[in-house]
Amino acid sequence: MTNTLLARAMGGTADPPLLPLPDRVAELLAELGSPPRLAAHLRAVHDVAHQLADWVGLTHPAVLFDREAVLFGAATHDVGKTVHVSELSGPGTEHEEAGRTLLLQHGVSPRLARFAATHASWAESRVGLDDLLVSLADKIWKNKRVPDLEDLVVARLAEVTGRAVWEEFIALDEVLARIGEGADGRLAFQASFPVGA
């Protein structure tokens, strides 16, 4: 039954409709014996990252970012919670470095594995737009607004486009509000799966 739940969490019919996790990620989660709730969470954040990446690509064509890296990062950012399962329902940061290490051990390049470690450390100066978009997806999937994080994204966009910061803020605010409207459905989808493997 757990395998069925995991498969459904990763790619089955969802309400609200959510994109399935990439095959490579689904195979990894199955191999690691991921709890279904973790897979459901990763799927929800991955879907939101798609929406953010689509928006940046459409409305900010001059902004260079690695779309595939953002999507992979969103789909794997909490993979360390397969080891630190208690952090699925409680606080903790041990999953961050554990996730990066796990991904590296499974042949994922450092360029892609980094998101597992950086998704919660977006305030560090070395973090790029790709990392910021993964962090933003990990917040807005549940409609959590983090002004400092959003300000960093706005600043990066304004730097490239030359538009006023307030213009970029309004544009980002609108898309985040729209994406945030689906939070209750995503939260219910995640909660419908057990924490245990």
Question: Per residue in 69-86, pLDDT tens?
Answer: 999 999 999 999 998 787
pLDDT for the residue 85: 80
Name the pTM for this structure: 0.95
CA-based end-to-end distance of the chain: 10
Question: Per residue in 145-177, pLDDT tens?
Answer: 999 999 999 999 999 999 999 999 999 999 999
pLDDT for the residue 59: 95
- Residue indicated by tokens 């973790």: 38
Which residue from 115, 110, 86, 81 is spatially nearest to 98, judged by alpha carbons? Answer: 81
Compute the average pLDDT of residues 14-42.
95
Compute the average pLDDT of residues 28-40.
95
**Are 78 and 108 in contact, with CB atoms under 8 Å apart?**
no
pLDDT for the residue 1: 40
